[in-house]
Amino acid sequence: MEMERQSRKEQTAAFGCLLNGYKGFVSEKMFPYFYRAYHPQRTLEELYDDGEISFEGCKIYQLICQYGRMNTAEIRHAMCVTKKKGSSKIDRAIVELQKKFFISVAGSEHKINKFGQSYGWRVMSYALTDDFYKEWIEKPEINISRQEAKNYILKVCCKNNLNADMEQIAKVLFATPK
């Protein structure tokens, strides 16, 4: 958690369930490549209509579009679920949206009670990836296709890990879960 806070504070890396659903960090330099590799070319609404995004995912995305940055507690409250009843669907939907780079972790914060006072453990907050990482995504020098982005990611992974198995890395990063 401390690494996540430090990287967000310094704006050096993105943190979240970004790597095909695995938690991890993506550097500013690599972020546009991962965005192009994972972000669908269709709209979220089209994916929902085709059954590729859950109802909960669609609703969370709409909430963040409407209200801006929201933390986990606010999302659960808006979706009328509690930590003990119904939250697992919300948690899965948040991961689903992160995997497709629709939303990203925007930091962590304390929950706020009805008196405006902070309390409890810190919770993750989320924002639309297109808004929160706009400067990282819109680099004109990185105007490449999805496949070119995947190839570049694999090339960098293998360059940085000489004993890496490219097929295994590709399987972990880009395999479609069943």
Query: Domain containing 161 — which CATH number?
Result: 1.10.10.10
What is the Cα–Cα distance from 157 to 19, expressed in whole angstroms?
13
Closest CA to 18 of 126, 141, 118: 126
Our count of domains for the chain comes to 1
Question: What mean pLDDT value characterizes the chain?
Answer: 86
Q: What pLDDT, in 10s, does the model give residues 109-165? A: 888 888 988 888 888 999 999 999 998 888 767 788 999 999 999 999 888 887 878
Who wins on pLDDT, 9 or 108?
108
Q: Is the pLDDT of residue 77 over 70?
A: yes
State which residues form the domain around 46.
2-174
Cβ neighbour number for residue 170 with a 10 Å cutoff: 15
